[in-house]
């Protein structure tokens, strides 16, 4: 591999939008590391990419396994010495999530532990590798459901989507973007929240208006931002989103 080849880790990249992000990054000449918690699904995703002549490998990565996260970071360090792109895509929903008056606190805790705390843990573990890059990019896969402004606007199409666990997890992820972008503003690391749109995946029950291929385009764009990249933004396909 050329030393100029960018190296990307995409979490939850074994299916859906994560796999499509990995595919599009690889098609752009990036060496992609497929992060997945299930070895069998990781192998299937990797075979899919390799069969298309794309450069990739896989690493076991469970956002709820702190020792496994550190082991994944060590694997990347030992084999590559750096990371140029981190796409925090992995996340979950829970059938017992719902409005604040009726959602299961255990479900909310599971969602927050994965979508926010797990993503924070992955980001912290990968930061030493990202600091070795000349121009690192972190893309946090958010959702317009994480916008406090839109959640409080009766005219918003997201107003009625009362999922306290999921929405709160994405609002927390946006806070990670805001604070991390500020903390790293004197470095070469750019951090942004990207809402891919309403994509037809397992996460949405295959509802939505976009295919995984369409939904991957904006996260990939922000992962590949050039020297004029701006940090600390929250965007969706239609433009910048209010926090």
User: Which tens digit of pLDDT belongs to each residue from 100-125?
Assistant: 999 999 999 999 999 999 999 999 99
Q: Are 91 and 66 in contact (CB under 8 A)?
A: no
CATH, domain range 7-233? 3.40.50.720
Q: Give residue 87's pLDDT.
A: 98
Domains of the chain, by residue range, sit at 7-233
152-183 pLDDT tens trace? 999 998 898 999 999 999 999 999 999 999 99
Q: Are 22 and 216 in contact (CB under 8 A)?
A: no
Q: Are 235 and 194 in contact (CB under 8 A)?
A: yes
Q: Is 154 helix (H, G, I), strand (E, B) or coil?
A: coil
Catalytically active residues, by annotation: 166, 170
Q: Where are the alpha helices (DSSP H) in 113-163?
A: 119-130, 148-151
Residue 225 CA from chain centroid, whole number: 16
Q: How confident is the model at residue 41 (pLDDT cuts 50, 70, 90)?
A: very high
pTM, full prediction: 0.94
Kindly give the interhelix angle for 66-80 and 119-130, rounded to the nearest 10 degrees. 20
Cα separation of 49 and 142, whole Å? Answer: 25
Q: Please name the residue that has the structure tokens 């999921």.
A: 166
Q: Are 178 and 165 in contact (CB under 8 A)?
A: no
189-227 pLDDT tens trace? 999 999 997 665 555 555 566 787 899 999 999 999 999
Q: Is 73 helix (H, G, I), strand (E, B) or coil?
A: helix
Which secondary structure element, helix H or strand E, spans residue 190, and what is its range? strand 190-194
Mean confidence (pLDDT) of the chain: 94
Structure tokens at 102: 């009726």
Closest CA to 118 of 89, 76, 78, 82: 89
């Amino acid at each position: 591999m050329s030393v100029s080849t960018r190296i990307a880790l995409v979490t939850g990249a074994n299916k859906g939008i994560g796999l499509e992000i990995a595919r599009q990054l690889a098609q752009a000449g990036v060496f992609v590391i497929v992060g997945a918690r299930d070895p069998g699904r990781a192998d299937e995703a990797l075979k899919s990419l390799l069969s298309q002549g794309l450069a990739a490998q896989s690493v076991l990565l469970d956002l709820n396994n702190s020792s496994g996260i550190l082991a994944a970071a060590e694997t990347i360090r030992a084999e590559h010495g750096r990371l140029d792109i981190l796409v925090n895509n992995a996340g979950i929903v829970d059938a017992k999530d719902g409005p604040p008056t009726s959602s299961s606190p255990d479900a909310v805790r599971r969602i927050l532990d994965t979508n926010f705390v797990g993503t924070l843990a992955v980001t912290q573990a990968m930061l030493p590798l990202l600091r070795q890059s000349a121009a690192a990019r972190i893309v946090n896969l958010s959702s317009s459901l994480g916008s406090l402004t839109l959640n409080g606007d009766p005219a918003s199409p997201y107003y009625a989507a009362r999922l306290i666990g999921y929405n709160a997890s994405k609002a927390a992820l946006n806070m990670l973007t805001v604070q991390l972008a500020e903390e790293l503003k004197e470095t070469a690391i750019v951090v942004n929240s990207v809402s891919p749109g309403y994509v037809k995946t397992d996460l949405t029950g295959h509802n939505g208006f976009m295919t995984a291929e369409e939904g991957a385009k904006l996260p990939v764009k922000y992962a590949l931002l050039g020297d004029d990249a701006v940090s600390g933004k929250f965007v969706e396909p239609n433009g910048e989103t209010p926090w």
